[in-house]
Amino acid sequence: MSRALLIVDVQNDFTEGGALAVAGGDAVASGVSAFLAEHAGEYAAIIASRDWHDADSDNGGHFAPEPDYVDTWPVHCVADTDGAAYDPLLTTDAVTHHVRKGQGVPAYSMFEGTTEQGDTVGDILAAHGVTDADVVGIATDHCVRASALDAVAHGVHVRVLTGLIAGVGEESSQAALAELAHAGAELVPAGSVAR
């Protein structure tokens, strides 16, 4: 059995003070860092994703001057800006693969992104023989949901570490977690992760 940790979009624009700030985002960043300090050695791959949008386009309609916050959004996570950087509370030393997504197009799942070498998350999981993945990050009801569903679709047993995620809305986050559980993902508190 080989396990991966998927860290979804723990970026400045999604944490407190960012363009699309999610309440509890900084707590997720520091919580994931603390979790990595204890558990990094248990993972064959630690993959972190970032939204990495083009500055000079609406990224396939993803950016809008009057966003609906469902399919269209304010400008956020523009490539090479501070907003696209990892939250400084997230320690990335243990990350083995960095994935960028949404380069000119809408993208929610980290499986839609690639590393600088062009590898997809699916490629990385296959190369490491990953059978199990733990998912953490932001936002529960959008990119965490999409990434975890894609991991399930790749035949991986998924655990969502519920203490290390933060969502945009309470109801939409609960609905996302229910959908994930129905799809076969396991919802577990980070503190109960077995060594």
| CATH number of the CATH domain containing 181 | 3.40.50.850
Please tell me the pTM assigned to this model: 0.96
pLDDT value at residue 52: 98
CA distance 138 to 149: 14
| Active-site residue (options: 101, 134, 141, 150) | 101
- 65-116 pLDDT per residue, tens: 999 998 999 999 999 999 999 999 999 999 999 999 999 999 999 999 999 9
pLDDT value at residue 45: 98
Q: Mapping DSSP to helix (H, G, I), strand (E, B) and coil, where does residue 184 land?
A: coil
- Per the annotation, the verdict on 141 as an active-site residue is no
State the total domains in the chain. Answer: 1
pLDDT value at residue 129: 97
| Active-site residue (options: 13, 51, 134, 143) | 143
AA identity, residue 88: P
Inter-residue contact 44 to 116 (CB < 8 Å): no
pLDDT over threshold 70, residue 62: yes
- Per the annotation, the verdict on 77 as an active-site residue is no
pLDDT over threshold 80, residue 193: no
Contacts of 93 (CB under 8 A, 6+ apart): none
| Active-site residue (options: 9, 26, 51, 87) | 9
pLDDT band at 194 (very low <50, low <70, confident <90, very high): low
Its domain, for residue 119, covers 3-192
CA distance 7 to 65: 29
- Per the annotation, the verdict on 9 as an active-site residue is yes
